[in-house]
């Protein structure tokens, strides 16, 4: 009985030792070969009104070019588009066709509905690996939806913080740091090929995160409705009177 107990204890000891050694080797090898990503993202909202441009300046620091290019890792910027904003799929297609933006809209976009009927979806902008070594400027045109009228002035639309995702063909462990994992399409050409991406921390200067949209004033309703309806009828009567006068 005691012998059996000793044997089990010995087996456990061996397995634990092997496991600890394996973990140690993994950490050592990862620390030796992992690529540290030190990224700065500056976000600016350009233009006013219903048609805006989201502009991101993305800069990497101390990124080893050889390691990065050999890694074959891909980088994408994930933007969660809220109800009050939309990215026009036709415009996105044009930008893609012109080679200005490698973009994928993950979801159905109804460009006609107002803000309260809009649906959220994600937009992925795949960044060029070579350009990522230095700095990249990305510009995404967005459009604000009409909001239901209230008391005039401006309504507000909040932008979400963009996420920087990295996916490496072999293992995402090649990128240093333990980050959350996100499932996302591997490229804009393969929207159904979903892979695990690493959500990388970055230093962000995001600036304005709330946009203003002009909205109608319900106080105008009384005279706008009366004048509009009367004018329509008056126009009709005027034309009929002209014909009758002949």
Residues 6+ apart with CB under 8 A from 123: 78, 79, 81, 87, 92, 103, 104, 105, 106, 140
**Closest to another protein by CB, 8 or 230:** 230
Number of Cα atoms under 13 Å in the Cβ half of residue 54: 29
**Closest to another protein by CB, 59 or 212:** 212
Q: Shortest gap between Cβ of 79 and another protein (angstroms)?
A: 19
Site of interaction with another protein (CB under 8 A): 47-51, 89-90, 93-95, 98, 108-112, 114, 116, 146, 148-149, 152-154, 212-218, 220-222, 224-229, 231-233, 235-236, 238-240, 242-243, 245-246
* Calpha distance 50→110 (Å, rounded): 16
* Whole-number CA gyration radius for the chain: 28
| H or E element at residue 11 | helix 2-33
Q: Shortest gap between Cβ of 165 and another protein (angstroms)?
A: 27
Q: Shortest gap between Cβ of 112 and another protein (angstroms)?
A: 7
CA angle 216, 217, 220 (to 5 degrees): 120
**Closest to another protein by CB, 1 or 98:** 98
Q: Shortest gap between Cβ of 111 and another protein (angstroms)?
A: 7
**Closest to another protein by CB, 186 or 215:** 215
Q: Shortest gap between Cβ of 40 and another protein (angstroms)?
A: 27
Q: Is the dihedral of CA 222, 224, 226, 227 positive or negative?
A: positive
**Closest to another protein by CB, 2 or 242:** 242
């Amino acid at each position: 009985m005691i012998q059996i107990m000793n044997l089990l204890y010995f087996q456990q000891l061996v397995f634990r030792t092997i496991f600890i050694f394996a973990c140690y080797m993994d950490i050592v090898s990862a620390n030796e070969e992992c690529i540290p990503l030190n990224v700065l993202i500056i976000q600016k909202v350009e233009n006013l009104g219903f048609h805006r441009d989201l502009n991101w300046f993305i800069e990497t620091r101390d990124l080893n070019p050889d390691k990065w290019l050999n890694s074959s890792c891909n980088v994408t910027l994930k933007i969660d588009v809220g109800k009050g904003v939309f990215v026009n799929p036709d415009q996105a297609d044009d930008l893609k066709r012109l080679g200005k933006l490698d973009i994928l809209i993950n979801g159905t976009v109804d460009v006609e509905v107002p803000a309260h009927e809009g649906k959220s979806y994600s937009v992925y902008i795949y960044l060029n690996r070579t350009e990522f070594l230095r700095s990249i400027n990305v510009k995404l045109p967005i459009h604000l939806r009409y909001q239901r009228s209230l008391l005039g002035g401006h309504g507000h639309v909040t932008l979400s913080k963009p996420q920087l995702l990295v996916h490496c063909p072999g293992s995402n462990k090649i990128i240093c740091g333990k980050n959350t994992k996100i499932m996302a399409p591997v490229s804009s050409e393969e929207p159904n090929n979903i892979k695990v991406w690493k959500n990388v921390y970055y230093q962000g200067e995001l600036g304005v995160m709330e946009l203003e949209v002009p909205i109608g004033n319900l106080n105008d309703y009384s005279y706008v409705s009366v004048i509009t309806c009367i004018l329509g009828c008056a126009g009709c009567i005027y034309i009929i009177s002209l014909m009758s006068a002949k």
